[in-house]
């Protein structure tokens, strides 16, 4: 499936925040804290529809999804019990590539996606190479034994404080193993997104 391969710096500047998690974009935002383009520094009046579309685009870029895949996640969230917007974020956070990133095995979601595709990651003892694989409570995620010598995993884990792990995850840094305890609560998900706007957009 195709992925966005354009300049990510422009996307970061467009939203005014480091949605990709790469530290180099923090420096970019400090240097250019305004949207790209010749009119980037001018204020523009924005419609409600534009704000709703902006929130949807932000989530799509953040989690690395294309429109068709994002729409499929949204409709699945609609069918679940509870609040649709919260269900959507819970589903996205339950993806295998996102969980690999959240556990600290990768420094970005894009890198985590690549790790999964290259068969470096196991779930419950079996290799899973599908980034969109949805984890269930109790699932154990680990780096394959023969992949644990790779420098990218050690470099990524140096940044991680296991004692500050997100409440729905457990991490054993020494064994490069993590556990997906449960789907996260909305207040625990560290993303600056107004998911209600996405629901309003799809409700039209």
Break the chain into its structural domains and give their ranges.
95-182
CATH topology for 95-182? 3.10.290
pLDDT digits (tens, 9 = 90+) for 134-166: 999 999 999 999 999 999 999 999 988 887 889
pTM listed for this prediction: 0.86
Per residue in 6-53, pLDDT (tens digit) is: 677 777 787 777 777 777 776 777 777 777 765 555 656 778 898 899
Residues 6+ apart with CB under 8 A from 97: 64, 109, 112, 113, 115, 116, 131, 132
pLDDT at res. 5: 67
**Whether 14 contacts 40, CB under 8 Å:** no
Q: Are 55 and 145 in contact (CB under 8 A)?
A: no
């Amino acid at each position: 499936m195709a992925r966005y391969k354009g300049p990510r710096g422009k996307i970061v500047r467009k939203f005014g925040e480091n949605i990709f998690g790469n530290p180099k974009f923090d420096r970019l935002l400090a240097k250019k804290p305004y949207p790209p383009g010749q009119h980037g520094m001018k204020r523009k009046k924005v419609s409600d529809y534009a704000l709703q579309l902006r929130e949807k685009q932000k989530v799509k870029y953040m989690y690395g999804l294309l429109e068709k895949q994002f729409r499929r996640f949204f409709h699945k969230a609609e069918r679940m019990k509870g609040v649709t917007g919260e269900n959507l974020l819970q589903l996205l956070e339950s993806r295998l590539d996102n969980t690999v990133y959240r556990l600290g095995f990768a420094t970005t979601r894009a890198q985590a996606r690549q790790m999964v595709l290259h068969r470096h990651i196991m779930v419950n003892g079996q290799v899973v190479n599908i980034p969109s694989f949805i984890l269930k409570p109790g699932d154990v995620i680990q780096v394959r034994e023969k992949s644990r010598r790779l420098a990218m995993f050690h470099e990524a884990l140096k940044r991680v404080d296991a004692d500050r792990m997100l409440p729905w995850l457990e991490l054993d840094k020494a064994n490069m193993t993590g556990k997906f305890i449960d789907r996260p609560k909305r207040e625990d998900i560290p993303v600056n997104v107004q998911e209600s706007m996405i629901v309003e957009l799809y409700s039209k």
